[in-house]
Amino acid sequence: MTFSSEVKAELSRVMPQKSCCAAAELAAVFRSEGIVFSQEEKSGRIAVALGHPAVARKVYRLLRAAGCRVTLAIGKGRRRPPTRAFHVNVTGGTDLLWEKIRDVVPGGVGIPEQVCCQRASLRGFFISRGSLASPEKEYHLEITLDQKGSAEWLLACLEALGLEGRLSRRKRAYVVYLKESEQIVEALKLMGASAATFAVENIRIVKGMRNRVNRLVNSETANVDKTVNAAIAQLDAIRLLQERVGLDALPEHLAVLARLRLQHPYASLRELGEMMHPKVTKSGVNYRMNRLLEYARKLVEADEQGPGSARRNILPTR
């Protein structure tokens, strides 16, 4: 089962406690299926095709509880590729339901005034036309609607609940979506999907922790790389000096450091300083190491200018 369908199954078990909320949720289901609450449909038949069996059962139960005559049948969906759909048909007793919906949805077009009903409306839209990406992959909740009016109704409802819904077009459809993890968690909470809220929060925490650990590891790796590269450059310079002029030709304090580096290729400058007698601070070692590197560099430069007494020109007298 996809995450989306798990959430729908959970929300199908959330039954509205008040009749205002039941009307608001049904209104949202109808609205998402393109049904508006006009006078003509007051006595007419209503048919909605739902993709999720638990959702169809919930809508069926809500309609029955509202006093409607309802049938539930399995058939083909309207969408392509053709999928299974659960057809809920209301064949009678809609008058009372329509009245209740009009009480909650002002004038048949406005959004419900009470927060409990706004939350129920959001739930109705989601169970009917919503989908939610697995939070392991990405944070994306969307509700795909066929009509602009329905999309605007949903956007107004989201705004009333303090959520920032966004609208985009996909082929002929209107897609209302939420992107940030905070928004999705909030929407799930408002709809009453406690298990899904917990699951997304959990993944969010684990993801955050993983990112922090990765950042730490990366920065440490970068530091290690820097240290290793520096040590290699130092060893190259010291070996050059050793071959060309001999370490004995260096001032004593530099010769000591050069020998220590050759013996301990992987030691840090601080560690090298602690091996000296008397001990030398990291910055002291750094200063001496730079002198060694400088001599080596001058030696190479002198080579480039032609063979000569590099030693006399470059090295200080002892």
Shortest Å, Cβ 20 to Zn ion: 4
Sheet holding 173-178: strands in order across?
130-132, 141-145, 173-178, 166-170
- Which token pair is 2? 């996809």
Question: Distance between CA atoms of 125 and 120, rounded to whole angstroms?
Answer: 9
21 versus 237: smaller Cβ distance to Zn ion: 21
20 versus 97: smaller Cβ distance to Zn ion: 20
**175 near 143, Cβ under 8 Å?**
yes
Question: Distance between CA atoms of 208 and 131, rounded to whole angstroms?
Answer: 24
Shortest Å, Cβ 104 to Zn ion: 7
Shortest Å, Cβ 210 to Zn ion: 40
Shortest Å, Cβ 163 to Zn ion: 18
Shortest Å, Cβ 136 to Zn ion: 34
- Which token pair is 237? 């310079």
Could you say which residues in the range 103-122 bind Zn ion, by CB under 5 A? 114, 116-117
Give the burial class of 143: count Cβ atoms within 10 A of its Cβ; 0-12 exposed, 13-18 middle, 19 or more buried: buried
How many residues interact with Zn ion (rule CB under 5 A)? 6
For residues 146 to 185, the per-residue mask of contacts with Zn ion, x marking binding by CB under 5 A and - elsewhere, is: ----------------------------------------
18 versus 226: smaller Cβ distance to Zn ion: 18
Question: Distance between CA atoms of 164 and 180, rounded to whole angstroms?
Answer: 9
Residues near 131 by beta carbon (within 8 Å), at least 6 away in sequence: 4, 141, 142, 143, 144
Question: Distance between CA atoms of 168 and 224, rounded to whole angstroms?
Answer: 47
158 versus 255: smaller Cβ distance to Zn ion: 158
- CA distance to 74, 145, 262, per residue, from 6 (Å): 20, 21, 63
Region class of 284: left (phi > 0), else alpha (psi between -120 and 50), else beta: alpha
114 versus 263: smaller Cβ distance to Zn ion: 114
For residues 231 to 270, the per-residue mask of contacts with Zn ion, x marking binding by CB under 5 A and - elsewhere, is: ----------------------------------------
Shortest Å, Cβ 24 to Zn ion: 6
For residues 1 to 40, the per-residue mask of contacts with Zn ion, x marking binding by CB under 5 A and - elsewhere, is: -----------------x-xx-------------------
Shortest Å, Cβ 25 to Zn ion: 9
72 versus 116: smaller Cβ distance to Zn ion: 116
Residues near 175 by beta carbon (within 8 Å), at least 6 away in sequence: 142, 143, 144, 145, 151, 167, 168, 169
114 versus 214: smaller Cβ distance to Zn ion: 114
105 versus 310: smaller Cβ distance to Zn ion: 105
Helix, strand, or coil (residue 166): strand
Shortest Å, Cβ 117 to Zn ion: 4
Question: Distance between CA atoms of 180 and 168, rounded to whole angstroms?
Answer: 16
* Binding residues vs Zn ion (CB under 5 A): 18, 20-21, 114, 116-117
